[in-house]
Amino acid sequence: MDFRFTDAQTLLVNTAREFLRRRCPPPVVEESVASERGFSTELWKEISLLGWPGLLIPLEYGGSGGSLLDVSLLIEEMGRACFPSPYVQSAVVATSLLVTAANPAQRERRLPALARGDRICALALTEDSASFDRDGLALEGDAGGKLTGRKLFVKDAHVADDLIVVTRGAAGPNLFLLETQRAGVAVVPMTTIAGDRPCEVSFAGVETRADDLLGAAGQGWDLLGPALQAGALARTAEMVGCAQHILELCVEHAKARKQFGRPLGSFQAVQHSCADLLRNVEGARYLLYRAAWKMQEGRGAAADVAMAKAYAGPACQAVARRAHQLLGAISFCEEHPLHLFHKRILAASLDFGDPTHHLETVATSIGLQ
């Protein structure tokens, strides 16, 4: 494994860091999260001009033909700024599915628009159990039939132009690409403390046609697997970026804040606490890069992605909790940005499988299940 960045990756990281530093400071994040859409439409247009939504889309469809490692580096920078957007759902998960599973007509219609940021697509998978496992599927649907039921916790469905709906079919799981404006589809945002926008999506006799299918009938779960791994890896990258920013806040505070006539960072207990934060961040980052590299190389990275996601959730949460202790009372006030990063980590740790879900994957990979 070679974790040295290519020239293109270095340029991507530096450009993203500088852009987000200038255009997405904490007051902008708070304003965006509190808005009806949950993100800034203006900033979405700006990152679209930079080509970020098309990073995973092939060149022939107007994208950059980048890798999952490129995307992980970019999303780490987004996490570092706590940048709110539908990027993970649309530009990573949905795009991954469309690139691998869509037929030529579906690709021609959707991918160029996704690359330009003109369309947003969301995956509708989880239901009442909130499970990302196949056993959690209850919504029944086959091509030529009608969908009646609901999906829950569908991130960014309220702003999506298209939904990829996972159903239980007669021959196995199906994937349907449906416009959110289709008759019978209703989207209602759900309230969360993190400020993100999961939605309840209801289907009331929604007609499904053969040309709505992604891939072959009954083969949806095999197609879905790599996209779920990409989503888990993306949210891991976001957590690492958030934790990196928190680490920087703590180190800056320890250097500047004085107690008993000395910088707070001169006390050994504070030094050890900051060292613990660094260990957690770097450990999570290593597992992230290792899993992204293995996926990029096609080396069968399911267990590596699971390890990265399972470790990053508790490790980055520990970083946020310790930061509240180091920064003191001000960090519990909304005027301080720490709460934004802490909430984002909590939400990301549950998305695309919580630690228990991924630890079971790791246990299976080493022959314990």
Least confident of 12-21, 248-257, 313-322: 248-257
The tens digit of pLDDT for each residue in 141-187 reads 999 999 999 999 999 999 999 999 999 999 999 999 999 999 999 99
7-116 and 121-220 in the same fold: no
The domain locations on the chain are 7-116, 121-220, 221-365
Tokens linked to 271: 């030094």
Phi-psi region of 117 (alpha: psi -120 to 50; beta: other; left: phi over 0): left
Q: Looking at domain 7-116, does it have CATH number 1.10.540.10? A: yes
Q: In the CATH scheme, what is the homologous superfamily, with its name and number, of domain 121-220?
A: Butyryl-CoA Dehydrogenase, subunit A, domain 2 (2.40.110.10)
The predicted pLDDT at position 354 comes to 93
Domain 221-365 CATH class label = mainly alpha
Mean predicted lDDT score pLDDT of the chain: 94
pTM of the model: 0.95
* Separation CA 352–CA 123 (nearest Å): 11
Q: Is 4 exposed, middle or buried (0-12, 13-18, 19+ CB in 10 A)?
A: exposed
Residue type, 53: P
Name the DSSP letter for residue 328. Answer: G
Does the pLDDT value for residue 191 go beyond 90?
no
Listed ranges 120-124, 259-263, 324-328; the one with the highest mean pLDDT: 120-124
The predicted pLDDT at position 369 comes to 64
Does the pLDDT value for residue 14 go beyond 70?
yes
The tens digit of pLDDT for each residue in 88-101 reads 999 999 999 999 99
Average pLDDT over residues 194-201: 88
Average pLDDT over residues 356-360: 93
Helix, strand, coil % over all residues of the chain, rounded to 5? 60, 15, 30
The predicted pLDDT at position 193 comes to 79
Which contacts qualify for 253-259: CB closer than 8 Å, 24 or more apart?
Answer: 253/326, 253/327, 254/326
